[in-house]
Amino acid sequence: MRSSLFTTLSLVATLSILPAAGELALARENTSQLGVAPQYDTTHVYVDPRAADEFTKSFLGTFGGESTKQVTVTVTPTPSTTTSQLLQTPFGTVSLFGFTTPIPYPFGSERTGYLVRDMDKALSAARAAGAIVLVDRFPDPIGRDAVIQWPGGVNMQLYWHNKQPDYKPFATVPENRVYVSPDAVSAFVKAFLSFSKGKVISDGRKAPGIEIGRPDDSYRRIRISSIYGRMIVLVTDGHLPYPYGHETTGYEVSDLATTLDKAKANGARLIVDPYRADDRQGAMVEFPGGYVAEIHAPLAH
């Protein structure tokens, strides 16, 4: 009886210090994640180097934040030279490049850069998920990079740093805005979810067409959330009025009118007037240097 009681008490004590099943699952998920967090993902912006300072002033004047010191470096595996700086705001980060030499292919076509914990594992996972590697891993001044392409022709950079950076979380996480053909959307979503371990938040088959500049039509809109942040997949027939499809990132702010006033005061041009849809108000601006951005704010209820 004493032995049985001791065994029971020992078992209870052991169980009390073991993590719960949910905690174990979360631990396994975190250790298997190759991404880090949304604040380590950047939008790649290429401008004429003569426009870099003007763009920086305009972008930071609109969203706040600060820039790292501009440096001149080689960020491609073949010879090239560019100015480079990181614009960090509470609403999203830009990797700004101003090439002073011709830009080697396919650089300039990658829309974003995702920080990964292990480059070799990330490339293996991307290939297994259905991506192709356009530019295999190569060293840069502070780590390693590669460029991959998802089904539908969506190009992204993966990057790894010798010393992992430490950035504050965003005030609001920006949207990676991906335009995909109906022919490729199933393959794209399946591949990206497999790689990112993300999930579909919503799949609207009749989203309001005003969101893509076609107020009399509807389209399919898929929202995805993952460790890399938020993504909106816009499934269209490609019949898009300008500037739809040119924007790669949507920035969420608390007050759209105030932000647009700041943008215009800092040299940006309003190219899509504010509209309301999907419980939010959105607009598009073009910054000096030609970068097009969507900006939106939730509607008050």
pLDDT tens for each residue of 143-196: 999 999 999 999 999 999 999 899 999 999 999 999 999 999 999 999 999 999
CATH architecture assignment, domain 175-298 = Roll (3.10)
Q: How many whole angstroms separate alpha carbon 184 and alpha carbon 150?
A: 10
Angle between helix 119-129 and 185-196 (nearest 10): 150
3-state SS class at 289: coil
Do 230 and 239 contact (CB within 8 A), yes or no?
A: no
Structure tokens at 187: 């393959």
Region 88-107 average pLDDT = 99
Of the pLDDT bands very low, low, confident and very high (cuts 50, 70, 90), residue 32 is confident
Share of the chain above pLDDT 70, in %: 90
Region 18-30 average pLDDT = 41
Which residue, among 143, 147, 141, has the nearest Cα to 161 in the 3D structure?
Answer: 143
Structure tokens at 116: 């990964």
pTM (whole model) above 0.85:
yes
Eight-state DSSP code of residue 89: E
pLDDT of 130-140, one tens digit each? Answer: 999 999 999 99
Report the phi/psi class of residue 238: left, alpha or beta, with left for phi > 0 and alpha for psi in -120 to 50. Answer: left
Structure tokens at 152: 């539908």
Share of the chain above pLDDT 90, in %: 88
Structure tokens at 41: 């993902």
87 has a pLDDT exceeding 80 = yes
Region 92-108 average pLDDT = 99
Instruction: Spell out the domain ranges in the chain.
Output: 38-161, 175-298
Region 265-292 average pLDDT = 98
Sign for the pseudo-dihedral over CA of 42, 239, 207, 189: negative
Report the phi/psi class of residue 251: left, alpha or beta, with left for phi > 0 and alpha for psi in -120 to 50. Answer: beta
85 DSSP β-pair partners:
96
Q: What is the mean pLDDT of the chain?
A: 92
Range from 27-36, 88-97, 117-126, 190-199 carrying the lowest mean pLDDT: 27-36
Taking every pair of Cα atoms in the chain, the longest distance, rounded to a whole number of angstroms, is 85
Q: What are phi and psi of 214, to 5 degrees?
A: -130, 75
Structure tokens at 98: 């101003």
223 DSSP β-pair partners:
202, 232
Which residue, among 80, 84, 70, has the nearest Cα to 113 in the 3D structure?
Answer: 84
Of the pLDDT bands very low, low, confident and very high (cuts 50, 70, 90), residue 26 is very low
**In this structure, which long-range contacts are made by residues 161-165, counting pairs with CB atoms below 8 Å and at least 24 apart in sequence?**
161/115, 164/36, 164/115, 165/40, 165/115
pLDDT of residue 131: 99
pLDDT of residue 22: 41
Q: How many whole angstroms separate alpha carbon 37 and alpha carbon 28?
A: 17
Name the one residue in this structure whose structure tokens are 């759209």.
256
User: What's the start-to-end Cα distance of the chain, in Å?
Assistant: 65
Range from 25-39, 189-203, 252-266, 282-296 carrying the lowest mean pLDDT: 25-39
Q: What are phi and psi of 164, to 5 degrees?
A: -65, 130
60 has a pLDDT exceeding 50 = yes
Structure tokens at 278: 């999907």
Q: Does domain 38-161 have CATH number 3.10.180.10?
A: yes
3-state SS class at 214: coil
Higher-confidence position of 241 and 33:
241
pLDDT of residue 21: 42
Q: How many whole angstroms separate alpha carbon 64 and alpha carbon 57?
A: 10
3-state SS class at 125: helix
pLDDT of residue 264: 99
Name the one residue in this structure whose structure tokens are 């001149």.
72
Region 230-256 average pLDDT = 99
Same fold, 38-161 and 175-298: yes
